[in-house]
Amino acid sequence: MKKLFVAATVLALTACTAPSEPQLTIAPTPVVSTQANAQGKSLSLESRDLRTAQFIAVVDSGRQNVQPLHATQNLRVTLEQALSRQLRSQGYAITQDSQGTMRLDILEAMINVKHSMMSHELNSKLQLQLVIESPTGKFVKRYSGKSERNGAMSASMGDMEEAMNSLITAVLKDIHSDPELNNYMQENL
């Protein structure tokens, strides 16, 4: 019985020290406005991750060796914080008791990586949906982006992080500069 207990303890301790799978750091750069155009407007901000798989990248090294990679932090929380910072810089107050609500839905966020010792190919896709509900109506719009990158040698974690962060930043810029969205928010919140 003692030997079994010692073996179980050793197994538990080695499991705690086993190296974890590599993870990607997703840190997009939101657009920070120099002029706050929405003074006095408030909204509540919510988000949902509607992706079927919660990993952020799939790395195919050939010979049926496919590895999924997750983000170091929750992608939904990261995107909600970036959008919140962007909206605050535009002058919107983010509160829980507002009559207007903006919901960010993550529909797709994926990097497909194919690499070998000599080259790599990164295909990134992102699709977000904004749903704004106010007492006067509802606004729904999707924002998406794709990017493709090729390079020599195998893809690094930094290559994958840069690809997704650049894509998210580009989509956040599209959201910031969308006249249809900005007009609806100015008139209905």
Whether the Cβ atoms of residue 37 and residue 186 lie closer than 8 Å to each other: yes
Read off the pLDDT of residues 167-183 as tens digits, 9 standing for 90 and up: 999 999 999 999 999 99
Read off the pLDDT of residues 37-71 as tens digits, 9 standing for 90 and up: 777 789 999 999 999 988 999 998 877 788 899 99
Domain 2-27+41-188 has CATH 3.40.50: yes
Write down the domain spans for the chain: 2-27+41-188
**DSSP-derived pairing of the beta strands 66-71 and 23-24:** parallel
* Residue 181 structure tokens: 């969205």
Please tell me the pTM assigned to this model: 0.85
* Residue 15 structure tokens: 């499991």
* Residue 94 structure tokens: 């983010």
Average of per-residue pLDDT values in the chain:
88
